Amino acid sequence: MAQKLEQQLKELGSKLHSPPSSKDALLKLLKQAATCLSELDQSPPSTTVESMQPFLNAIVKPELLKHQDRDAKLLVATCICEITRITAPEAPYNDDVLKDIFHLIVGTFNGLSDTNGPSFGRRVVILETLAKYRSCVVMLDLECDDLVNEMFSTFFAVVRDDHPESVLSSMLTIMVVVLEESEDVRDDLLLILLSALGRKRSDVTPAARRLAMNVIEQCSGKLGAGIKQFLISLMSGDNHFVNSEFDYHEVIYDVYCCAPQILSGVVPYLTGELLTDQLDTRLRAVRLVGDLFALPGSTICEAFQPVCSEFLKRLTDRVVDVRMSVLEHVKNCLLSNPSRSEAAAIILIIIHGF
């Protein structure tokens, strides 16, 4: 069996050295190659590696690696992913070729949104291979920063509720590995991640939001300082680097839901917003803290007592809209959980406040 595969790979490498001009003929060869490679184990005998060499050289020739046909590109990417699996942990190509390879691989992820498409299965295999063998780390070694940004953006754009669990977990694994293995998380990458947060975003799917929250939860130690500084900059008025869709109050809400410890340095600024004379900011802060306050099982009053205390003091705010917003959130909170530990204190504040 092994000798037969070796012979097939030799022949395929020879035929692909000068690829056929016919698309159908080319696709047939690439499909045969993908099948052969999938049957090889990782770290095969030296005789197998030797027999693969003509094919390894042929598959990264510019006319294949940068082929314009969508189907051919996908099959080339499939073959190369199999090669990286077989040769792992060794990199089978030099840095320049590897950069082109990762551009090709990341480009295949755009098609993951079409779960019913004929090529969906191949794209999933490529994704799973990248996750399983952690070959995405090589992108960091190659300093492919823009490509990493593109990959994260693509995942958030294509992820769907009806994706198989293997797709969701592979996307999560790749993003977590890239972040954890990065020396520093760049601001532009952090912005891509935080831009997927928010309950009211019209341009972000619920699946993308959950993916971003899962990434933050798993990488809270790595991301904590950056997210904290990012939010503090926005709350201090430095918002030139975000678009109009970006709502930092919504980001704070989602971060609290997945990694509340990150917000320890942000809370004093939120307390300041509850005290500000700017009505719009004060009202938005009241709504945010109220939403956090009303979350089932919320411990915001224990974890962040000053902001909770100031929120309840807004029951006597001079502006009716602010008072009504606090009262509505408190009512919802008490109705959903009358036995919460601070219920009696809240009722006393309401009685004395009014």
Closest CA to 69 of 18, 22, 129, 125: 22
Give the model's pLDDT for residue 43.
Answer: 85
Q: Domain residues of the chain, as ranges? A: 266-354
State the Cα–Cα distance between residues 349 and 34, nearest whole angstrom: 70
Q: How confident is the model at residue 160 (pLDDT cuts 50, 70, 90)?
A: very high
pLDDT at 25 over 70: yes
pLDDT digits (tens, 9 = 90+) for 232-276: 999 988 777 777 778 999 999 999 999 999 998 898 899 999 999
pLDDT at 64 over 80: yes
State the Cα–Cα distance between residues 256 and 252, nearest whole angstrom: 6
State the Cα–Cα distance between residues 301 and 260, nearest whole angstrom: 13
Residue 139 in tokens: 């992108």
What are the backbone angles phi and psi of residue 161, rounded to the nearest 5°?
Answer: -65, -30
Residue 61 in tokens: 């020739």
**With 0-12 CB in 10 A as exposed, 13-18 as middle and 19+ as buried, what is 123?**
buried
What are the backbone angles phi and psi of residue 212, rounded to the nearest 5°?
Answer: -60, -40
Query: Rounded mean pLDDT of 201-209?
Result: 92
Give the model's pLDDT for residue 345.
Answer: 62
Q: Between 272 and 48, name the one with better pLDDT.
A: 272
Q: How confident is the model at residue 222 (pLDDT cuts 50, 70, 90)?
A: very high
Contact assessment for residue 107 and residue 73, using Cβ atoms and an 8 Å cutoff: yes
Give the model's pLDDT for residue 344.
Answer: 63
pTM score, whole prediction: 0.92
Q: Between 303 and 161, name the one with better pLDDT.
A: 161
Residue 252 in tokens: 């704070």
Q: How confident is the model at residue 83 (pLDDT cuts 50, 70, 90)?
A: very high
Give the model's pLDDT for residue 38.
Answer: 92
Contact assessment for residue 6 and residue 48, using Cβ atoms and an 8 Å cutoff: yes
DSSP string computed for 141-209: HTT-HHHHHHHHHHHHHH--TTS-HHHHHHHHHHHHHHHHH-SS--HHHHHHHHTT--TT-TTS-HHHH
Q: How confident is the model at residue 4 (pLDDT cuts 50, 70, 90)?
A: confident
